[in-house]
Amino acid sequence: MRNDKFRDPIHGFIEVRPYEKEIIDSAPFQRLRNIKQLALTSYLYHGAEHTRFGHSIGVMHLATRAFRSAVSKGRYQFASGDENDKCIKWLEQILRLVALTHDLGHAPFSHAAEDLFPEKPTKAASEKKKYYKHEDMTEKIIKETEIADIIKKIGDQYKKELGEKYDITPEMICDIYSGRNPGEKSHFTFLKTLMDSELDCDKMDYLLRDSYYCGVTYGKYDIDRLISCLTIFTKDRDEAPYLGIETGGIQAFEAFVLARYFMFVQVYFHRTRRYFDLILSKALKECLPDHCFPIDVNEYLKWDDVKVMSLLREKADSNRYARDVIYRNHWTCVYHTKVHPQSDGFELFSLVKESLKHEFDSRNFKTDFLVDTSADKLPHKIIPQKHEIDEEETIAIWDESKNRVSTISDESKIINSLTEKIDIRRIYCSDKFAAQAKVKIKSLLNDRDDEEEECEDNG
C-alpha cells in the first residue's frame, strides 16, 4: 500500500502511512477539523482559524524528523545486533501514533474550555476533588472507539513483519504519552520526551503554526537547525535514553524558548484573547447540560466548536456571556499588572481591585467587572543552575569536540535568566462604568506616584 501525502502550509508535504490515513479518516479524528487551535483568537488575529487537525498531523511529522535525527547519531543502541533496526522501526511507528492521536480529547475551543470537564468519582468523601482533563478524554477515545481497532491492526502488521514482541496496542500508546509503566522497555521514556518535555515536538509545531496563522513573527525559530542538533543521552549505559542537544544547537534552543515566551506574552495572553477565553468558559458553564461536557465518549464526540456556537446563539438573548461571544462584544481592560509583577505589583493590583469594589457597590462590581488572575505561565520548566542530567528538569548538551556532557544551565545565560512567571493580572469593566473606573484608578495611582497605569484598550 502506498503512502498518502498531505500538503501542509508549515512543513510542506507530509507522508502518511495507510493505517495512519485510516485514523485520520475516522470520525474522532475528523472532529478535530472543527476544534480551533486557539479558541476565539480569530476575533483578534483574523487568520487564526486553524484547527487541531492540521496541528496533530504536523506534530507527527516533526516527531518523526526529530526521532530520526537523534537516532542517526548512533550514540545509543535500542537493542543488540540486527534487532536494533527492528526496534528503531517499531519505536518510530509508536511515536507517530502517539503524536497523531495526542489531541483527540480536546474540548471545543481547546484550552478555553479546559475547566468544563466533569468531576471524577472519588473513593472517599475526604478525598480531594479531581476533574477529568482532555488527556483523560484522549485516552478514552483511543481505547473505546474505532481508533483502537486501527491501532490493533497496525500492531498485527508489525508482529507479522518484525516478530511477536513488536506489538502495538491502544494501551501502549496511552501509557507512553501519560508516562505510565515503561517497565523493561525503558526506551519508551525517550519517546515521551519527544512529546512532553521542554524540547517536545508539540511545542515545536504549535509555535510555528500559531505564528503563521496569526500573522506574527514572535513564534518563529530555526526548526531545521534545532532538529539537526538533537541527540540521545543516557546517564549510564543501562539507564533509559532521553533527548538532548549537540552543542551547536544551543542558540537554536534558546530561540525556541524565547519564541514560546514571546507568543505567550503577545498572543496567548493578549488582553482581548484572555477576555474571550474567560467569558466563553462562563457562557458554557451556564449553557451546557449539567454545566459540563459529557464523559460518555460517544456523547462527548458530538461536541465541537460548531455545536457550541449553535448552542450559544440559542442562548444569546438570555445569557449575556453567550451574547458577548456571539456578537464579539468585549469589555475594556481598565487595569493590568506588568508581565512579571513583583510583590509590590501584586499588592497594587489588590489595592486597585478593592478600591473599585469600594467605589462601586458590591452588586455593581460583581456584574460590571471581571477580574483575571489566571494568566500565568513559566517561560520554561528547566531548573536554573541544575547541573545533573535529568530529562524532566534540564536539557543535556553534548560537546563532541571535547567528548563532554553538560546541561543547558551550564551553557546558557538566557535560559537561566528566564525564571520568573509570566503572571499578568487584569481587571475588565463594562462600558457602563469603564470611564469612571479609569478616573478612579488614575487618581489612585497618582496619589501613590506609581508609574504603572490603566490599560490603553486598543482591541
pLDDT value at 124 more than 80: no
Tell me the average pLDDT across 85-93. Answer: 96
- Rounded-to-integer distance, Cα 381 and Cα 397, Å: 17
Burial letters 18-32, b for 16+ CB under 10 A, else e: ebbebbbebebbebb
- Compute the residue count for the chain: 459
Torsion sign, CA atoms 116, 38, 341, 380:
positive
Least confident range from 32-46, 133-147, 323-337, 369-383: namely 369-383
Per the listing, cell 509570566 goes with 422
For the beta sheet containing 242-246, the strands, ordered from the edge strand earlier in sequence to the opposite edge, are 230-233, 242-246, 396-399, 404-407
Q: How far apart are CA 30 and CA 368, in angstroms?
A: 40
pLDDT(169) > 90: yes
Task: Read off φ and ψ for residue 429, nearest 5 degrees.
Answer: -140, 145
**Span 94-118, average pLDDT:** 95
In angstroms, the CA 245 to CA 265 distance is 26
Which of 126-130, 291-295, 309-313 is the least confident region? 126-130
- Residue in 316, 317, 334 with CA at minimum distance from that of residue 325: 316
The mean pLDDT value for 51-61 works out to: 98
Query: Which of 36, 339, 363 is closest to 206 using CA atoms?
Result: 36
Which pLDDT band holds residue 455 (cuts at 50, 70, 90)?
low
Mean pLDDT of 245-250: 95
Q: Is the pLDDT of residue 237 over 80?
A: no
- H/E segment holding residue 16: strand 12-16
| pLDDT at 385 exceeding the cut of 60 | no
Rg of the chain, C-alpha, whole Å: 24
The dihedral through the CA atoms of 251, 253, 256, 261 has a sign that is negative
Work out the pLDDT band at 390, boundaries 50, 70, 90.
Answer: low
Mean model confidence pLDDT for the chain: 91
> pTM for this one?
0.93
pLDDT > 50? residue 154:
yes
Active site (catalytic) residues: 134
The closest of 367, 348, 368, 371 to 434, measured between CA atoms, is 368
Mean pLDDT of 298-312: 97
Residue 326 has pLDDT above 60, yes or no: yes
User: What is the arithmetic mean of pLDDT over 73-87?
Assistant: 89
Question: DSSP state, 51?
Answer: B
Confidence at residue 236, expressed as pLDDT on a 0 to 100 scale: 65
How far from 410 is each of 235, 383, 399, 401, CA to CA, in Å? 17, 11, 12, 17
